[in-house]
């Protein structure tokens, strides 16, 4: 069973331009991760980073945009299918990550788990559009290949993490899940759920999803994942209303990572350890009043910053301060508020 009890982790997207400084920050948490640094290079954008070798994708660094070409897809598909079973063909290369291999060189032996991440297929497929501005996820053939492509990307990364630590996992960054099950999506809810369930079953290790929005929480809590990471600071008051689903999720030994410390400078300046502790406990007490024991909530809880942030005027300062507040808040929770 995954350890809980207010262990700390965080989203991997950081505003740093110094890779060693970013890795050092990640290693201050209980569950460290290799950082993604889009300000270092556009190829470290969460979408661009995992686009390498997908047929039909055009990475436009100058304009910082990804585009999908149906014509190019048809031209490149046979070559992709020929090479996709080669062990390192879908590796995360140094060109697309300045930190991955540097992270693996660090001493990670004393951490209970280590983490990687990949953009999820829903978000990837909704974000990138073809010549007619149609999201690629609406193309049945492309979508089928995309699910397989990202499964292979995740498996390769998981295996590299497992080479240096006995307890790795790779979670999905899936902001698109906030939009896929609404009336504006041409990808029907029933089909999306069926295909996403099958995709998750094929992933190695503990299965996790992170997103900062307000999706269909019932679907996610029943999807078979082991870790759900959410922006509790913004959406905790809604998430906790799914009491029955949350209770069942926790009873199965799964983890909820509560994103509780803000990273936006203004929000962070408006809070302190005590106010964030009260905000967290309000969510937990609501669950407690509806039949979930405090012991179970705490035992199955991780803590994290509420979301990644690249827009603060102070560069890395607010994000690093959010990590410091997170560590202090975790200590306060573990000590029972003292």
Question: Over 221-249, what HEC string results?
Answer: HCCCCCEEEECHHHHHHHHCCCHHHHHHH
Q: Where are the beta strands (DSSP E) in 41-88?
A: 57-60, 65-68
Question: For all residues of the chain together, what is the average pLDDT?
Answer: 95
> How is residue 111 annotated by DSSP?
S
Answer yes or no: is pLDDT of 258 > 60.
Answer: yes
Fold entry, domain 7-334: TIM Barrel (3.20.20)
Tell me, what's the pLDDT at 338? 64
Separation between Cα atoms, residue 224 and residue 273, nearest integer Å: 33
pLDDT-derived band at 247, boundaries 50, 70, 90: very high
Extended strands (E) in 48-102: 57-60, 65-68
Answer yes or no: are the C-beta atoms of 170 and 115 closer than 8 Å: yes
Are 256 and 236 in contact, with CB atoms under 8 Å apart?
no
Least confident of 5-14, 82-91, 241-250: 82-91
pLDDT the model gives residue 190:
80
pLDDT at 42 exceeding the cut of 70: yes
pLDDT at 152 over 90: yes
3-state SS assignment for residue 36: strand
In this model, does residue 130 exceed pLDDT 60? Answer: yes
Per-residue pLDDT band for 184 (boundaries 50, 70, 90) equals low
pLDDT of residue 188: 75
- The pLDDT of residue 191 is 84
**329 pLDDT higher than 60:** yes
- How confident is the model at residue 178, as a pLDDT? 85
Residue 100: CB atoms within 10 Å: 21
pTM: 0.96
Mean pLDDT of 112-121: 97
Q: Show the beta-strand stretches assigned E in the chain.
A: 7-8, 57-60, 65-68, 114-119, 168-173, 207-211, 227-230, 255-261, 301-305
């Amino acid at each position: 069973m995954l350890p809980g009890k207010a262990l700390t982790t965080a989203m991997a997207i950081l505003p740093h331009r110094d890779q060693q400084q970013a890795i050092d920050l990640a290693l201050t948490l209980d569950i460290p991760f290799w950082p993604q640094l889009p300000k270092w290079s556009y190829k470290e954008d969460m979408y661009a980073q995992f686009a390498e070798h997908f047929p039909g994708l055009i990475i436009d660094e100058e304009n910082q945009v990804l585009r999908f070409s149906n014509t190019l897809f048809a031209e490149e598909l046979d070559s992709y299918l020929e090479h996709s079973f080669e062990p390192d063909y879908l590796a995360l290369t140094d060109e697309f990550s300045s930190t991955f291999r540097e992270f693996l060189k660090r001493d990670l032996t004393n951490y209970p788990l280590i983490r990687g991440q990949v953009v999820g297929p829903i978000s990837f497929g909704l974000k990138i559009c073809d010549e007619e501005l149609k999201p690629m996820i609406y193309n049945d053939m492309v979508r089928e290949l995309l699910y397989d492509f990202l499964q292979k990307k995740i498996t390769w990364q998981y295996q590299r993490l497992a080479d240096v630590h006995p307890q790795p996992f790779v979670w999905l960054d899936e902001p698109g899940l906030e939009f896929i099950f609404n009336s504006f999506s041409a990808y029907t809810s029933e089909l999306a759920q069926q295909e996403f369930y099958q995709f998750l079953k094929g992933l190695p290790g503990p299965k996790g999803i992170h997103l900062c929005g307000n999706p269909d929480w019932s679907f996610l809590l029943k999807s078979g994942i082991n870790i759900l990471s959410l922006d509790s600071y913004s959406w905790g008051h809604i998430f906790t209303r799914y009491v029955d689903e949350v209770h069942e999720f926790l009873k199965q030994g799964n983890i909820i990572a509560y994103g509780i410390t803000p990273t936006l400078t203004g929000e962070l300046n408006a809070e302190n350890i005590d106010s964030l502790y009260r905000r967290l406990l309000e969510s937990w007490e609501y669950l407690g009043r509806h039949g979930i024991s405090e012991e179970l909530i705490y035992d199955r809880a991780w803590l994290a910053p509420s979301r990644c942030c690249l827009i603060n005027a102070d560069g890395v300062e607010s994000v690093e301060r959010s990590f410091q507040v997170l560590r202090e808040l975790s200590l306060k929770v573990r000590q029972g508020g003292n």
